Structure formats: structure tokens, C-alpha cells
Amino acid sequence: MKLAFSTLGVPGLPLPDVLALATEHGYHGVELRAHPEEPVHPGLAPAARADAAALFEGSGIALLGLAGYVRVAAPGDDAPVLAELRALLQLAHDLGAPFVRVFPGGDPDRPREEADAVAARRLGSAAEDAAALGVRILLETHDSHRTGADVIRILGPVGHRQVGALWDVMHPWLGGEQPAETYAALAPHLGYVQVKDIASAEDRTPLPLGAGALPLTECVDVLSRQGWDGWLCWEYEKRWYEDAAPLPELLGAGREHLVRLLGEAA
């Protein structure tokens, strides 16, 4: 498996510095948070997109994907959601990123069947755009659809190879789903896996990998036993927890922990 980290852990850090961190600590790739607070976002001008793509190409570090904030199950009209998603897809194409992350974002006060249908319709509408651009849309296990069982209710009806899943290991755990169950649900659709660690369901302050309660060993073991050979991306949510330790000083030990887990699971 290949290892990456998300720029959510180093908010606002210029791309050259992000790539230097990846190189220094032996990561194969980077997931970019695509938000106006960050150096890369859908409002980026064409010249800046070309510069960013050239930086990645010259570094030897892969751009794993763009972590966007489109909420495909959100109430309201389809048009603005699809416009936001298509802008994210175009940015990924311009930068050479194979994946874009989207959230479910369904309203918990509305019937789940309604949220499922809305999300499936929107993802189905965007699937051909994604295919034309050579980018895959990944629906994250998150918020209204935190388990693999939740996400597959949307992906099943879409039935398009350009629409898949992103397994964030925290949310299925919070939803009471075991790693083997999550993998079984998402395996045909799985794009990559986000790893992280937290103290408990009540305290989600990011911790160094292996220092918290999340079942990282079990997740890696499931993936290894099934012969899955994709990406593990460390999403350290420093942006939301200012008191958390700085990510750069944890990257080396984090990589060593993941390598150790992969070795034990082999």
C-alpha cells in the first residue's frame, strides 16, 4: 500500500513546503484540501493550476486527490450542487488528481430514503463529466452516511465506475460498524482509505497514529488479507483543533507506525 497525508493537518501551508514534508518523511503522495483558505481551490486561475501541477510533477510526489466540500445529499436544488462538483472535477483534471472527495451532507430531520435518492441522482448526473475528465468521485463515509452500509445505499443505484467510496476509518467506528463489515460493503467501490486516531467518541482531538481508540490495526489487517493495494491517507484534523500537536513533527513516527502495521499484516 502507498502512504499519503492530507493538508488538513497543515492548514494554509504553501505547496512547496507540503511537498518538502512529504519527501522528507517518505510519503508517496498528498491529499489536498480544496478550500479557499488553501493554496489550491476551485477559484484558482489557469496559470496557478499549471504551476501547481508542475510542482507535483517535479517533486516525484503524487497528488492523491482533492478533498472537496460538496454535499451531494443536501436539501435544495440540484443545479448549485452539480455546478460545485463539476468545478471540483475540472480542478482535479487540471492538476492531474485521480480522485475528488465529496460528503453526503444529508439533513438528519428528513427521511433517509430521500437523501439517498437525491445523492444518487446527483452523482449519476456528474458521473459522465467525471469520466470525460478522467477523475473519480469518492463519497466519504461521513456525517449523515457514516457507515459502509449507509454509503452503499447511494452507490448501488448509481452503478457507475467513476463514482466510488472513500473509507474514513473514524465514522464507521462511530456508527458501530466493524472494519470487516465496512470493507465488505465498500470493496467493489473503494478508492482509498483515510486513517486517523482520536481518544474517544467524545473527544475527537487528533492524536498520533496508534495513540488513540480507532481500530487501525484491524482496518489494515482487513485490507491486507483481502489483497487491497491502494492508498492509506493520514487525515490529521489540525484545522479544527488548534491545540493539537503540529503535524510536521508527527509525520515520521506516523509513517513508521503505518509501515509497522503493514508489515504485521503481511
Q: Write out pLDDT tens, residues 114-134.
A: 999 999 999 999 999 999 999
More confident residue, 242 or 132: 132
Query: What mean pLDDT value characterizes the chain?
Result: 97
Q: What percent of the chain has pLDDT over 70?
A: 100
Boundaries of domain holding 75: 2-265
Confidence of residue 264 (pLDDT cuts 50, 70, 90): confident
Find where cell 481551490 sits.
41
Between CA 68 and CA 100 the distance in angstroms is: 7
Alpha carbon distances (Å) from 104 to 54, 57, 78, 152:
32, 32, 14, 12
The total of other beta-carbon atoms located within 10 Å of residue 241's CB is: 14
Residue 266 reports pLDDT greater than 80: no
Between CA 123 and CA 120 the distance in angstroms is: 5
Domains of the chain: total: 1
Contact 33, 8 (CB under 8 A): yes
Residue 33 reports pLDDT greater than 90: yes
Residue 89 reports pLDDT greater than 80: yes
Burial of 159 (0-12, 13-18, 19+ CB in 10 A): exposed
Burial of 230 (0-12, 13-18, 19+ CB in 10 A): middle
Confidence of residue 265 (pLDDT cuts 50, 70, 90): confident
State residue 133's pLDDT score.
98
Quick one: CA torsion of 5, 59, 86, 38, rounded to 10 degrees? 60
pTM: 0.98
DSSP helix/strand/coil, 48:
helix
State residue 91's pLDDT score.
98
Q: What is the pLDDT of residues 36-84, one digit of tens each?
A: 999 999 999 999 999 999 999 999 999 999 999 999 999 999 999 999 9
Find where cell 517535479 sits.
58
Q: What is the pLDDT of residues 154-205, one digit of tens each?
A: 999 999 999 999 999 999 999 999 999 999 999 999 999 999 999 999 999 9
Q: CATH no. for residue 243?
A: 3.20.20.150
Residue 227 reports pLDDT greater than 80: yes
Confidence of residue 153 (pLDDT cuts 50, 70, 90): very high
Find where cell 492523491 sits.
64
DSSP helix/strand/coil, 38:
coil
Q: How is residue 204 annotated by DSSP?
A: -
Question: ∠152-202-261 over CA atoms, to 5°?
Answer: 65
Between CA 24 and CA 100 the distance in angstroms is: 26
State residue 28's pLDDT score.
98
State residue 119's pLDDT score.
98
Residue 16 reports pLDDT greater than 90: yes
Chain Cα centroid distance, residue 103: 9
Between CA 59 and CA 231 the distance in angstroms is: 18
State residue 74's pLDDT score.
98
Residue 113 reports pLDDT greater than 80: yes
